[in-house]
Homo-oligomer: A and B are copies of this chain.
Amino acid sequence: MEDNNDIFSSQPRGIPEPALRRLPKYYHYLKHLQTQNRISVSCTHLSKALMVDPTLVRKDLSFTGIKGKPKTGYLVEGLISAIENFLKINNNKEAFITGAGHLGTALMGYGGFEEYGLKIVAAFDTDKEKVNTSIHGVHILHPEKLPELAKRMNVRIGIITVPAKAAQETANLMVKSGIKAIWNFSPAEIVTSEDVIIINENLASSLAVLSHNLLVISKESN
């Protein structure tokens, strides 16, 4: 995350990452409003529902290019399409996943990605027991098949769920195969050429926040 920022910092001035990360939050809630047939919504409303400062909501939404009307707010439908368009949610994004262990399996079975246009189209694992089987409808292949398939299917997103030791090697294989964005779930730091996007998902970070704040609370109540 912070690691990738510098690649873009020289640019005209895009959306700040925190704002970008809040957009799916709005999107998900707006989809909910839509099922309840709400026509319009104000920042105040979104602010209360999602616990984000109302001015910040407005700033965030403005990056998508949408305009609201005083007194009424934004059209729910318009806002949804604006976010979809900005995040390219409707562009189907095909991804490979490497590492068909527990976490990989969970991600393959996790339905939540479809809402954002991501589809896992193949999985790779070195375990002979797993090769040529399917998990949650995703076929598992040996990593040696990855380069050819990536090129043939023009897959540009790779998800890494292998152990830390194998992470860099896996990333190298992906990059060599033309993959342009890597979502790394392993705790290892991955180094690639500058034109590849690396997003690190580090569950330990959240656990640290949880654990430390729990400690702070305990001290307070003494």
Contact = CB atoms under 8 A, between A and B. Distances in A.
Interface in A91-136: 91, 93, 101-103, 105-107, 109-113, 115-118, 136
Interface string A209-222: 11111111100000
Contacts of A14: 216
How many A residues are at the interface, by size bracket?
A: 35 or more
Contacts of A51: 3, 189, 191
A1 B209 contact: yes
A59 interface: no
B197 A21 contact: no
Contacts of A189: 25, 29, 49-51
Interface string A77-90: 00000000011110
Task: Give the most central of A22, A27, A105, A208: most B CB within 10 Å.
Answer: A208
A144 interface: no
Contacts of A72: none
Interface string A193-215: 00101010111111111111111
B213 A197 contact: yes
Task: Give the most central of A86, A107, A203: most B CB within 10 Å.
Answer: A203
Chain A interface, DSSP helix/strand/loop, else mixed = helix
A201 B211 contact: no
A38 to B, nearest CB: 17
A73 interface: no
Contacts of A209: 1, 17, 20-21, 199
Interface in A170-199: 180-181, 183, 187, 189, 191, 195, 197, 199
A117 B211 contact: yes
A206 B86 CA distance: 15
